[in-house]
Amino acid sequence: INSFCKKDDHNKENLFNSINYDVAAKKRKKDLLNNKAKTQYFHQEKWIYVHKGSTKERHGYCTLGEAFNRLDFSSAILDSRRFNYVVRLLELIAKSQLTSLSGIAQKNYMNILEKVVQKVLEDQQNIRLIRELLQTLYTSLCTLVQRVGKSVLVGNINMWVHRMESILHWQQQLNNIQITRPAFKGTTFTDLPLCLQLNIMQRLSDGRDLVSLGQVAPDLQVLSEDRLLWKKLCQYHFTDRQIRKRLILSDKGQLDWKKMYFKLIRCYPRKEQYGDTLQLCRHCHILSWKGTDHPCTANNPETCSTSLSPQEFINLFRF
């Protein structure tokens, strides 16, 4: 009888070990499949499900840092249609959202910023835009570092000081940049007919670009002072009501549209326009770049997508 009981206990132990092994094997298989799914959908497909609360099916919520890590901004900065959009996002995060980024998101942010600086140094374009971004970020970091202990600043203080030193180095690189003239001698901007030059200048949405263009040559200086040019620029960015509140007359008694423009931009935000943007599917709440396919059960997914401005993207993650 004792022998039989020992044998029975041995069989039960083997059965128990076998069950544990099967459970562990199934769990490893499930984890492997989940990891593959995450890699496929979030890192290859470049979209993310935006959820703001916990449910029975899904626990937790999507954060700004998580979205920033998964939406492939590193590739987006190489696309001229998306470059300004990403830079504006970086600026908004620098102004008010640095403390909401996790350690990984902070590192990703700085890596993308470094790539942006390197791209500007190579292409010699958007120099002023990135100078302003770096100055905004440095100012925010100075404030946060001085308030350590009073604000939620993720990471070691020495790491933040190192990042501030990197920003100063990038600023110095941009200040020392030397614009190289193209080697070929062909048709230049000033060789074009005046009507075509004006047409091109009307495409500029920043008044500072008009001022800079006017400093290139005397003829362009005259064109850059064109009243109609500045009038259209004011009407593009601001409403009639905003314009009426900031009327400025010249010595000749005419509206000085150029002075009005620079007065208006100090009082009101300018209109933002981007070649490509992030979009949110209202049906399935998936966030992705415009033109990126995502799994949607709607009959017409194209009609469910809403383009997001950089500020609207930030607002998605304010709980």
**In a domain? residue 162:** yes
The reported pLDDT for the residue numbered 20 is: 47
**Of 50 and 248, more confident:** 248
- Do 251 and 294 fall into the same domain? no
Average pLDDT score over the chain: 80
Higher pLDDT, 317 or 271: 271
Residues 290 and 241 in one domain: no
Mind listing the pLDDT tens digit for each residue in 150-186? 556 677 788 888 999 999 999 999 999 888 777 767 7
Q: What is the pLDDT of residue 135?
A: 96
Evaluate whether residue 17 is within a structural domain.
no
CA distance 289 to 279: 6
Whether residues 139 and 229 fall in one domain: no
Over 60: is that where the pLDDT of 83 sits? yes
Domain extent for 289: 278-315
Residues facing residue 287 across a β-bridge:
48, 280
Cα–Cα dist 62/52, whole Å: 6
In a shared domain, residues 291 and 261: no
Percent of the chain with pLDDT over 70: 78
Q: Is the pLDDT of residue 276 over 70?
A: yes
40 within some domain = no
The pLDDT score that the predictor gives to residue 44 is 55
C-alpha pair distances (Å), 231 with each of 187, 214, 256: 29, 17, 9
Q: Please check whether residue 51 is in contact with residue 285, taking contact to mean a CB–CB distance below 8 angstroms.
A: yes
pLDDT at 32: 43
Residue 171 placed within a domain: yes
**Around Cβ 12, how many Cβ atoms within 10 Å?**
10
* Model pLDDT for residues 237-250, shown as the tens digit of each residue: 999 999 999 999 88
Q: What pLDDT was estimated at residue 61?
A: 54
Query: Is there a domain that residue 303 lies in?
Result: yes
* Residue 130 belongs to a domain: yes
When divided into structural domains, the chain yields a total of: 3
Residue 257 and residue 222 share a domain? yes
As a residue count, the chain comes to 319
- How sure is the predictor about 5, in pLDDT bands with cuts at 50, 70 and 90? very low
The string of pLDDT tens digits covering residues 113-150 is: 999 999 999 999 999 999 999 999 999 998 888 766 55
Give Cβ neighbours of residue 156 (< 8 Å, ≥ 6 apart). none
Same domain, 149 and 114: yes
What's residue 49's pLDDT?
79
Instruction: Evaluate if residue 235 carries a pLDDT over 90.
Output: yes
Is 10 domain-assigned?
no
135 domain residue, yes or no = yes
- Note whether 78 and 142 are same-domain residues: yes
Query: Taken in order 199, 203, 209, 211, is the CA torsion positive or negative?
Result: positive
